Amino acid sequence: MANVSLNIPTLSTDRLQLVPLSFAHSQGMYALWSCPEVCEYSGVVCDYDRNVLPMPAGSDEVSDKIIEFWLRAAADGWGLRWAMVRVEDSRFIGAVGFNSIADCSELAYHLLPDAWGQGYMLEACQAAVNWVEQTYECTSIEAFIEPPNLASIALAQRLGLTANGPVEDGAQRYSS
Residue 93: pLDDT over 90: yes
- Determine the pLDDT at residue 129: 98
Dist CA 121 CA 94 (whole Å): 9
- Determine the pLDDT at residue 137: 84
- Determine the pLDDT at residue 110: 98
Q: How many residues are there in the chain?
A: 176
Annotated domain spans of the chain:
11-175
Residue 4: pLDDT over 90: no
Note the CATH architecture for domain 11-175: 3-Layer(aba) Sandwich (3.40)
Task: List pLDDT tens digits, range 120-155.
Answer: 999 999 999 999 999 998 999 999 999 999 999 999
Dihedral (CA of 170, 172, 150, 21) sign: positive
- Determine the pLDDT at residue 165: 84
Q: Are strands 140-145 and 104-111 parallel, antiparallel or unpaired?
A: parallel
- Can you give the pTM of this predicted structure? 0.95
Quick check: helix, strand or coil at residue 92? strand
Task: List pLDDT tens digits, range 7-55.
Answer: 999 999 999 999 999 999 999 999 999 999 999 999 999 999 999 999 9
Residue 2: pLDDT over 90: no
21-46 core/surface letters (b: 16 or more CB in 10 A; e: else): beeebbebbbbbbbbeebbebeeebe
Residue 73: pLDDT over 80: yes
Quick check: helix, strand or coil at residue 114? helix
- Determine the pLDDT at residue 1: 47
Phi and psi (nearest 5°) for 20? -50, 130
